[in-house]
Structure 1
Amino acid sequence: MNDTSLTPTTGVLLAGGAGTRLGLGPKALLPFRGRTLVELLAKALLDGGCHDVVVVLGAEAEEVRRTTDLDGYLVVDNPEWASGMASSFRTGIAAVARGHNVLVALVDQPSLTSGVVARLLAAHRPGRVTAAGYAEDALSGSAPAKLRRGHPLIIDAALSAEAAESAVGDAGARRFLQSHPGLVDVVDCSDLADGTDVDTKAQLHLLTD
């Protein structure tokens, strides 16, 4: 057991994108397993052990609020969502209670489950960043598969302000992680999820299982 149990972790679900390349409206409203992605993934963060959940909306925020059930979560709007993910990342972190770790997740990753969240929470060490890793080559044979760092990721409370300040454009924590590679622990979650984003129409099959 580690010290994570002493520090609450707030889940921040970035759900502000317009889904322009998909042409189906905001990604938050994409249907999946009888509900919308934003509803299912917010629930996964809470069920996985997050103390509370912040949902950051952007594109068509009023429509998302009207057509989904997000009761029980703190829903905040990012009026600058069109400028890129960084603004939603900063908006989400700003809404997190002081002293809480931050678990950042993306609304366009349908394979994210409460099991992934729970594994990251259990693995997190104080003062560090804990990121989900996914095998890049499923046909690696007997050699260990190389892990691709992805989301969700936990940013320790002591690091979240710096991470937010470093965010620019369409990248959330990327610049911060690149500047501090020694702080990042990658946890293999390949058996639980694939970490794939639904970005293009060719990936819509990910929403049909």
Structure 2
Amino acid sequence: MVAGLLLAGGAGRRMGTPKALVRLHGEPLAVRAVKALQAGGCGPVTVVLGARADDVTDVLRAAGLGTAGSDVGVVVAEDWDEGMGASLRRGLGSLTHLPGTGAALVHLVDLPGVGPEAIRRVADGAGHSSLRRAAYDGVPGHPVLLGRDHWSGVAGSSTGDAGARSYLAGHPALELVECGDVAVPDDVDTPAQLRRLAGA
């Protein structure tokens, strides 16, 4: 089983609001990303929140996600302002009690151009020892697949905004999975970028 892990804790300072709350074609990016993980075959899905966590939780629940009985859980990284590494550590820690989970597919909330096709391709057939990263024309990007055997190593090396970068760099087990034909890896950091994406 591959669990979905959505990192959605940032304040979105350049955007002016947490990107989890930003709407694209009327749908909050957090909701869009959770649906992409689910459609890509990941479950359960855990959303790691930080800035304005209560507001993002309300948005998820309004969409029927993160409610009792759903396959979507919410955890809060209290130290979210330290960077993505804090959210990744919190998210992986929340998955350790799920014995049937062999891997975690880590996705970022500000990548609306990365949908179920890329997620499914990276997650397909993953197991405890898997270590994969989506690539776009050969350039490493997201999502990232972390087999359970790698969780403690990733958590121990995740600091600041680097996330799993230092662990992945040069790791002999890392497999790049080309996704340039099914996804657009551009992140959405500013209102101008959001407008361009909406127009496209």
Distance, in Å, in 2 between the alignment partners of 1:126 and 1:83 is 28
For the structure 1 residues 27 and 161, does the alpha-carbon distance in structure 2 shift closer, same or farther, using more than 3 Å as the test? same
Aligned residue for 1:84? 83
Bigger Rg over Cα: 1
Counterpart AA for 2:178: D
Counterpart AA for 1:168: T
Deviation per CA, 1:97-155, whole angstroms, max 9, x where unpaired?
244301100000011111111111226465231111112xxxxxxxxxxx110110101
> In the alignment, is residue 20 of structure 1 matched against residue 10 of structure 2?
no
Runs (4+) off by over 3 Å: 123-126
Aligned residue for 1:51? 43
Distance, in Å, in 2 between the alignment partners of 1:123 and 1:67 is 32
Distance, in Å, in 2 between the alignment partners of 1:193 and 1:57 is 25
User: How many residues end up aligned between the 2 structures?
Assistant: 189
Aligned residue for 2:144? 153
Aligned residue for 2:182? 192
Aligned residue for 2:159? 168
Distance, in Å, in 2 between the alignment partners of 1:125 and 1:81 is 29
1:198, distance to aligned residue in structure 2 (A): 0.9
Counterpart AA for 2:114: L
1:159, distance to aligned residue in structure 2 (A): 0.8
1:202, distance to aligned residue in structure 2 (A): 3.6
Q: Superposition pairs for residues 1-209 of structure 1, below 5 Å?
A: 8-23=1-16, 25-69=17-61, 70-71=65-66, 72=70, 73-96=72-95, 97-98=98-99, 99-122=101-124, 124=126, 127-135=129-137, 147-178=138-169, 180=171, 182-204=172-194, 205-209=196-200
Contiguous gaps of at least 5 residues in structure 1: 1-7, 136-146
Distance, in Å, in 1 between the alignment partners of 2:59 and 2:4 is 22
Query: Secondary structure, in 3 states, of the residue corresponding to 2:149?
Result: coil
Identity of aligned residues (%): 39
Contiguous gaps of at least 5 residues in structure 2: none
Counterpart AA for 1:155: L
1:51, distance to aligned residue in structure 2 (A): 2.4
TM-score, length-normalised on structure 1?
A: 0.85
Distance, in Å, in 1 between the alignment partners of 2:198 and 2:74 is 24
